[in-house]
Structure 1
């Protein structure tokens, strides 16, 4: 397939990929499906894993999309530095495909950058050109959404795929849901229509942690990507980061009774749902009242400030 002019530039000569018969491309588009920055943390880890293994910078770029064709600069203004009397250090948005390697040296691709604000169909066709040029076997996407779930329970994952045979787990949903679309979800639909395998994972992030880094969800996403993408990933660093954040949250809850009560209510609701599922009843069978997003937000306003902002008290997170 020949890509539309100027939408994507694909490197002509990548000998390492010419010899690869099984190639995964991981897709992470910033801007929509990323509560708790889970997908961003996961993609950053993948780049760092290659950097640490090869002892040099991020993996080489093998395809570059023309961001000007897709980005709304007035809606998402890139940062720029003003130094005394002049502008410099413009952080231009980049939408690229990098060649990375897993812990065992197996090559794979990472599609990373801001979600296109427009021309989604053209973007999907440009990605198709990359997939067909390098013979990508499967495209695996990552995302995360805020949900009324407690952080004290396992991170739930929504599995999705362009065909049932690709699913690696059962979906927690029943029936049809009408949800806002994204360039990433449309890409999966179009790739499936073009007979290219595409699947992905969406982590469920507790409402009250959606605005802060939540590496535990990133870990859950990476574990699923590792299996689905047939990769080998040393996840010890992100696991340590997740444990540290969980300890911070636990210390805060032990000192804040009102916040702990909100989490306790979510735990009861979650456990009721699980029990209903195991017994074959409706997920709506539980009668435990669920805190609203506003109630959770009010209770955790100080929580977020305590974790992300300065605090003079010894031992505070």
Structure 2
């Protein structure tokens, strides 16, 4: 049974209803969790930016009742205060947009803040969208901080509610108990209802987790292209990634202590790659990582240096 109170779906969408396409993808990105380096959110925004619609946003074909899903006190939307009055309230929106890829193929993008409550109702509402538009595959994106260096290829965890959908092998072994998300629950429920869903989680260097990391956004979209059978122009995103990479490289070259910590992560990563045995994490047994104090101290300076590359400002509190 669907939860029509949580979603309003446009009655007629000629581009989909009259389409002869036998497959329709829906990409899902819920902001607020599983988004280290802002990678998934940046990937979703890129899809909107390159959609080629006149309004630059894509047509909204379904709208979720955010008032019933959002905790405003936990995540307060911004509003402008201008001289003596409030204006420009930025209301949270959780919507499904109709976009077209580089070849003109239509697909859907479900994007907005992750629901704070009523996850089961939200999943039922998404099911209604999936069944209304005959979506054949749901593809999600996310990212998590990991003890990996930015100088190595970005690893991806593949997951799906049917093993036949997986595009790559999992680096994990056994069972891991992790905090869940509405996105993860949605994949489980869609599988129970007979709908295919899969996703990709990028591993972000933990010292870059609070910065925009467009390289990871590009890698996620490469996977979405394969899974969703769509084509996306990634040139602009890759140019952003090159600029960020140059910024990080320049800072490391000028700060030897931070570079030493990155070098330690590189040794750890390479030792894991060479290891013959598989484990349930990215740590090789005989290669110690930098201590928490070392990482915390060096990367506080790392982040401060990227935000203030000239070195001007107050140095108080630095060891």
Calculate the TM-score normalised by the size of structure 2: 0.93
Aligned partners of 2:173 and 2:278 also within 8 Å: no
1:45 to 2:55 alignment: no
Match of 1:21 in 2: 22
Equivalent residue number for residue 6 of structure 1: 5
The corresponding residue for 1:30 is 31
Quick one: distance in 1 between partners of 2:283 and 2:239? Answer: 36
Match of 1:193 in 2: 192
C-alpha displacement of 1:234: 1.2
Give the Å deviation of 1:293. Answer: 4.4
Q: Which moved more, 1:35-44 or 1:13-22?
A: 13-22
Does the residue aligned with 1:205 lie in a helix, a strand or coil?
Answer: strand
Cα gap change, 1:250 to 1:285, in 2 (>3 Å): closer
| Alpha-carbon distance change, 54 to 70 in structure 1, aligned in 2, over 3 angstroms | closer
1:219-238 matches, within 5 Å, as 219-238=218-237
- Aligned-pair CA distance for 1:309: 3.9
Runs of 4+ residues over 4 Å off in structure 1: 281-285
1:287 Cα deviation from its structure 2 partner:
1.1
1:87 equivalent in structure 2 = 86
1:173 is matched with 172
How far residue 210 of structure 1 moved from its aligned partner, in angstroms, is 0.3
Contact 1:207 1:293 (8 Å CA) reproduced = no
TM-align CA RMSD = 1.5
8 Å CA contact 1:207, 1:296 repeated in 2: no
d(CA) in 1 for partners of 2:236 and 2:195? 33
Within 2, Cα distance between the matches of 1:7 and 1:281? 44
Aligned partners of 1:73, 1:294: CA distance in 2, in Å? 35
Three-state SS of the structure 2 residue aligned to 1:223 is helix
Measured in 1, the distance between the counterparts of 2:273 and 2:309 equals 38
Deviates more, 1:13-22 or 1:134-143: 13-22
Give 5+ residue unaligned stretches, structure 2: 313-319
Equivalent in the alignment of 2:255: 256
Aligned length: 308
Matched ranges for 1:132-147 at <5 A:
132-147=131-146
Runs (5+) with no aligned partner, structure 1? none
2:94/2:111 contact within 8 Å kept: yes
Match of 2:96 in 1: 97
Q: CA deviation at 1:294?
A: 4.3
Asked if the contact 1:269/1:286 (under 8 Å) is kept, the reply is: no
The C-alpha deviation readout for 1:92-141, integer Å capped at 9, x for no partner, is 00000000111111000000000000000000000000000000010000
Q: Do 1:25 and 1:140's aligned partners in 2 also have CA atoms closer than 8 Å?
A: yes
CA distance in 2, matches of 1:228, 1:164: 13
